[in-house]
Amino acid sequence: MTKTTLICGSLAFDKIMQYNGRFGETLLADQLHKVNVSFLVPTLRTEFGGCSANIAYNLNMLGGDPLIMATIGQDGGEYLERFDKLGISTRAIRKIEHTYTAQCFVTADLDNNQINAFHPGAMQFSHENNVADVGPLRVAIIAPDGREGMLKHARDCAAAKVPFMFDPGQQLPMFSGAELIEFINEASYLTANDYEFEMLMDRTGLSLPDIAGRLDALIVTRGEKGSEIYAKGERHEIPCVQADAVVDPTGCGDAYRAGLLFSIVNGHDWPTAGRLASLMGAIKIAHQGGQNHVATASEIADRFETEFGYRYSA
């Protein structure tokens, strides 16, 4: 049986800028109706980002077989070269020649307040990709992406009987209650943080037991409090793994999801899946950016054994 995991989601460049002042000293509360300001940003760095790439990066590190389905712009050559070097297949990535790759421009001040601008670019054309074109799959994830693409890929997976994980993330407000219920009914798994899950219940009118009862597993993350997995009428409490350092939470949720997907493909029980996911998040958070942490599959397995006293299968 194939172990290929289809990862539907965004590809993006993150432009991170640091302002060595405080926004509050420049933005006048009584003059916000006519803002015209410029912030000097002495430092600028570009990070490889996007949910699909972050998930694939971590799954590849674990020894999985990620297949990214996404759209990239005319400026995406460097990203494709990166995937080639990492050994991650690019055959399901569609290049949209008349637009740019999705980009997030982040300006942070000394208090870590942020002013962000997001350009969706090629992400808006994700619906041009077809799940049926990529061949046999073991599992898929529908991560934040273009709205129409997320709806289409979920329906494609359901039609092809490919079990998939629904991960609405920051795109959750883009969907109506009826659309979210459709996602839930089509999905095998759903993962969200505690805030997103509260919004999901509010939008759909469904309770936690209602939602969990329609899925093989519901996973709710709660930051430093760990996470909870509801499956087959059971609730599994997953501890938070202590990180070596808390440097940058960017991409931690994606690393967590990679751990879940690896466990699903390899037939782990849900407590093991949650613990591996938690470990992946802890490894990521100790590094800046979503794809700058490095570990081998054996190193991850060794650390898992140290943390939890047993070894998982791969």
pLDDT in tens, 167-210: 999 999 999 999 999 999 999 999 999 999 999 999 999 999 99
Q: Return the residue matching tokens 């751990």.
A: 259
Q: Which tokens in the block code for residue 164?
A: 């998939």
Query: pLDDT value at position 24?
Result: 84
Please report where in the chains the tokens 């079990």 appear, as a residue: 163
Smallest CA-to-CA distance from 113 within 199, 39, 33 is with 39
Give domain limits for the chain. Answer: 4-10+51-100+123-308
User: Which tokens belong to 76?
Assistant: 């995406």
Q: Exposed/middle/buried for 130, CB within 10 Å: 0-12, 13-18, 19+?
A: middle
Helices (H), 102-176: 147-159
How many CB atoms lie under 10 A from the CB of residue 283? 23
Rounded Cα distance between 254 and 93, Å, is 19
pLDDT digits (tens, 9 = 90+) for 22-74: 988 877 666 666 778 888 999 999 999 999 999 999 999 999 999 999 999 99
Distances (CA, A) of 68 to 35, 132, 143: 40, 14, 11
Query: How many Å from the N-terminal Cα to the C-terminal Cα in the chain?
Result: 14
Judged by DSSP in three states, 240 sits in coil
Instruction: Pick the closest to residue 131 from 29, 218, 6 (CA basis).
Output: 6
Nearest to 273 by CA among 139, 146, 181, 178: 139
Residue with tokens 């990535």: 93
What tokens were used for 35?
């803002």
How high is the pLDDT of residue 111? Answer: 86
The residues that bridge with 94 in the sheet, in sequence order, are: 71
Mean pLDDT for 128-147 is 97
The arrangement of secondary structure in 4-10+51-100+123-308, i.e. its CATH architecture, is 3-Layer(aba) Sandwich (3.40)
Range of 16-30, 110-124, 213-227 with top mean pLDDT: 213-227
Contact between 72 and 11 under an 8 Å Cβ cutoff? The reply is yes
